[in-house]
Structure 1
């Protein structure tokens, strides 16, 4: 029997959070640096209309998501976690990226039990459906929604999510820390 149901976001959580920056800078003729990305919604950082960014994304999303580099230790940690836990990827990506996402996870040899492509940043209902014990996320607003719904959230650090945390959210800085935090939670649950 698996111990925990672990829900994991993809973009910015298992992948490097700024992988799209070079392409974006070239397209919009800007020189935005990682340190300037203090908002999750990049159109605000760029000072452009949301529609302009959405048009850019729609035209380039397949190239953007095809070769995203993984964060350090992601493969190793998820493989270890999958031995004792259910792993569910829950992403806001839209359905047009479904096959690319399956292919990406397979190509990178990342084990999982199921994949949920929501087309929306609202993840609470899916977390409820999956009886989620821990949600690993990089989007601050998602983390707050999940926390307010009673879920434990590990918020992986990025320049755009450094805001005050609520009781159910723990900031983590890398995948090794995610692993050690989940192992502690597993030990605590076994002691109860």
Structure 2
């Protein structure tokens, strides 16, 4: 039996989407109300441009900190282990290769299954979807979901967050929890 291959984003999908905002409030002095967060890109909540922001985050050690202190989504551990029994799981993250050790440590600390971790270093994940012949993708960033759905025609499960609440095409399914996501996956690939 051929197993469904699922691509899973990390930040905002495996981790709680408020994690990065909470970190910025705690360590960078911002006061972002997550429920009002209309932008995905963190630099937009500062007076820095994107390149300047990430240079600051790297040099100050906050890039590692923001990933190290991220909170997992509710029940993500349970559901990832359940999915792994039936499907091939591939974590596909925009994080750069330099943060692989902290990413792998975080995954181990939260006792999540790890078979495949692809660090793209950019938000463009379409080539990875094609290279791995993924059948479904799980994401929180609207622009990624739209690009994957349009360029590959595979279904995308979009984890709801204030910054991604816009109209969606038919092959992007919005979910509000891992329970709902898993039920959606089983609709695509019923377990016998």
Q: Same fold, TM exceeding 0.5? A: yes
2:138 paired residue number? 136
Matched, 1:161 2:156: no
Given that 1:87 and 1:114 are in contact with CA atoms closer than 8 Å, whether structure 2 keeps it comes out as yes
Q: Which residue of 1 aligns with 2:186?
A: 183
Deviation at 1:110, TM superposition (A): 1.0
2:50 aligns with 50
Contact 1:40 1:160 in 2 (8 A): yes
C-alpha spacing 1:29/1:106, structure 2 compared with 1 (3 Å): closer
Q: Which runs of 4+ in 1 moved over 6 A?
A: none
Closer/same/farther in 2, CA of residues 19 and 3 from structure 1, 3 Å limit: same
What's the RMSD between the two structures over aligned residues?
Answer: 1.8
Structure 2 unaligned segments of length 5 or more: list them: none
Secondary structure of the residue aligned to 1:143 is helix
Shift of 1:98: 0.9
1:26 Cα deviation from its structure 2 partner: 5.0
User: Alignment length, in residue pairs?
Assistant: 189
Q: Deviations over 1:104-143 (max 9, x none)?
A: 1122111132110110110011001111111000010100
Aligned to 1:90: 92
| Paired residues of 2:23 and 2:69 also in contact (CA < 8 A) | no
Structure 1, unpaired ranges of 5+: none
Contact 1:37 1:45 in 2 (8 A): no
Match of 1:16 in 2: 16
